[in-house]
Amino acid sequence: MASLNKAPYKGTRDFFPADMRFRNFVFEKMAAVSETFCYEPYDGPLLEEIELYYAKSGEELINDQIYSFVDRGDRKVAIRPEMTPTVARMVAQIHREVAKPLRWYAIPNLMRYEKPQKGRLREFWQYNADVFGAGEYGDVEIIQLAVQILRSFGANASQFAIHINDRRLVDFIFTGLIGLDAEANKKLYKLVDRKNKMDPAKFAAEVRTITKDESQANAFEAYVALATIADVERFMETKNSEAAAPLVKLFKTLGELGLSEYVLFDPSIVRGLDYYTGVVFEIFDKHPENNRAIAGGGAYANLLQIFNEQPLGGVGFGMGEVPLKEFLKAHNLIQDFSKAQVDVMVTYSLASSEGDAFILADRLRAQNLKVEMIFGETKAKKAFTQAERKNTTAVVLLGEESQVKNLSTRESRPLDLGNINALVEFVKGKN
């Protein structure tokens, strides 16, 4: 028999314990910070009927990237490539009966048929948070939440920046001010989205294939030259200060909250997706060798359109664990997860101590300690070698002269099986 392939399917990962401890660490931080903001956890199915994505997702996602197939009952289904259609479907079921706003988060695994590369895989997890039905206030809170999640990993304002724009502002400038028609407007959105990846001369040339004349092109270039929110305010003052007002207010509030150092206005952030209608943002790694987006989101006016339900607005963002890991690596913010934590390793040198060992392990676990048994008679030296393979706090040696050794204080003492509390305190280094 030919032997089987031991590698995981292309673009997916095996999570060995060290990988999984890191993944758990990341997800637990995301969940813990979300809970301090009173965002509530949710999840949906791995598979959805494909109609949901036809109605809601961008063309690229469906045509090029979706994993879809026909099930045994002739239903056309897809593995979820993003979470928004699912959460929209779920909210559509309940939004009439529940008090607003709803604050929800999830960390689903998603699949996209990508060409695997740095920061991009076929199977990945993505943190998603949304506040539904909160009006303007949602913008501030979602950005606060994004900052706090990154700060919880030890990151600071020298390491990441939130680039912010507002679709209401962009729409006014592109159509009201420059005077683009709908088709040119759409093209310019797509072009702006790619600006930071393009050569400036090429960008200027492509702008001119979209605008009608040089005056339109110049007006557009005045927009992309806006570098700060103060620039925006000045630029719009005489044109339409209303269209800039929400963004100006957002920056002011973020300033009052002490978040100015994390945020900046960026005219190139427009977020291609049709459904954004207000503030949009992307979070970038500032590391010169990893200068990429690690999260993105924005405000939308009508999550439930595809379900023919009353309009429900919201603000949300997504953060993939793959680019997040690249960010944390670039800034040396990942601790060592290679070794498992063991509070007490229980070993015995005589077969007659085996029963005692099992019973002691059980009693220590009841005290919530992490206890690893070494099975079979084991000499002290071998036991200590085993203990060093993990982050072991203490080793219990049962045998003729039973003892316990605390590996961090290097202290040993005889073992008194009649006094579990003293043993627990000794292991915890409290006496």
**Contact set for a second copy, span 13-72 (CB under 8 A):** 13-17, 20-21, 23-24, 35-38, 40-49, 51-52, 55, 67, 69, 71-72
Which sign does the torsion angle of CA 265, 270, 271, 275 carry? positive
CB 139 within 8 A of CB 278: yes
Q: How is residue 174 annotated by DSSP?
A: I
Q: Check binding of 193 to a second copy (CB under 8 A).
A: no
Q: Check binding of 148 to a second copy (CB under 8 A).
A: yes
Residue among 13 and 286 whose Cβ is closer to a second copy: 13
Query: Which residues 115-134 are close enough to bind a second copy by CB under 8 A?
Result: 123, 134
From candidates 244, 342, 394, 404, binder to a second copy by CB under 8 A = 342
Residue among 22 and 284 whose Cβ is closer to a second copy: 22
- For residue 424, give the H/E element and its range: helix 420-427
Interface map 411-430 toward a second copy (x if CB under 8 A): --------------------
Distance from C-alpha of 360 to C-alpha of 377, rounded to nearest angstrom: 16
From candidates 308, 310, 421, 431, binder to a second copy by CB under 8 A = 308
Q: Check binding of 94 to a second copy (CB under 8 A).
A: yes
Q: Check binding of 112 to a second copy (CB under 8 A).
A: no
CA distances from 43 to 35, 128, 129, 132, 293 (A): 15, 10, 12, 16, 25
Strands ordered across the beta sheet of 67-70: 47-49, 76-79, 67-70
Query: Which residues 248-277 are close enough to bind a second copy by CB under 8 A?
Result: 253, 256-257
Q: Check binding of 371 to a second copy (CB under 8 A).
A: yes
From candidates 26, 61, 79, 387, binder to a second copy by CB under 8 A = 79
Residue among 123 and 326 whose Cβ is closer to a second copy: 123
Residue among 145 and 188 whose Cβ is closer to a second copy: 145
State the CB neighbour count (10 A cutoff) for residue 109.
Answer: 13
Distance from C-alpha of 150 to C-alpha of 401, rounded to nearest angstrom: 51
Query: Which residues 283-302 are close enough to bind a second copy by CB under 8 A?
Result: none
Q: Check binding of 322 to a second copy (CB under 8 A).
A: no
Residue among 71 and 416 whose Cβ is closer to a second copy: 71
Tell me, rounded to whole angstroms, the distance of Cα 348 from its chain centroid: 45
| Among the residue ranges 141-149, 242-250, 313-321, 415-423, the one whose residues contact a second copy (CB under 8 A) | 141-149
Query: Which residues 372-391 are close enough to bind a second copy by CB under 8 A?
Result: 372-373, 375-376, 386, 389-390
Q: What residues contact 337, with CB distance under 8 A and at least 6 apart?
A: 18, 19, 21, 22, 25
Listing DSSP states for 295-326 in one string gives EEEEEES-TTGGGTPPP--EEEEEEEHHHHHH
Single-letter code of the amino acid located at 7:
A
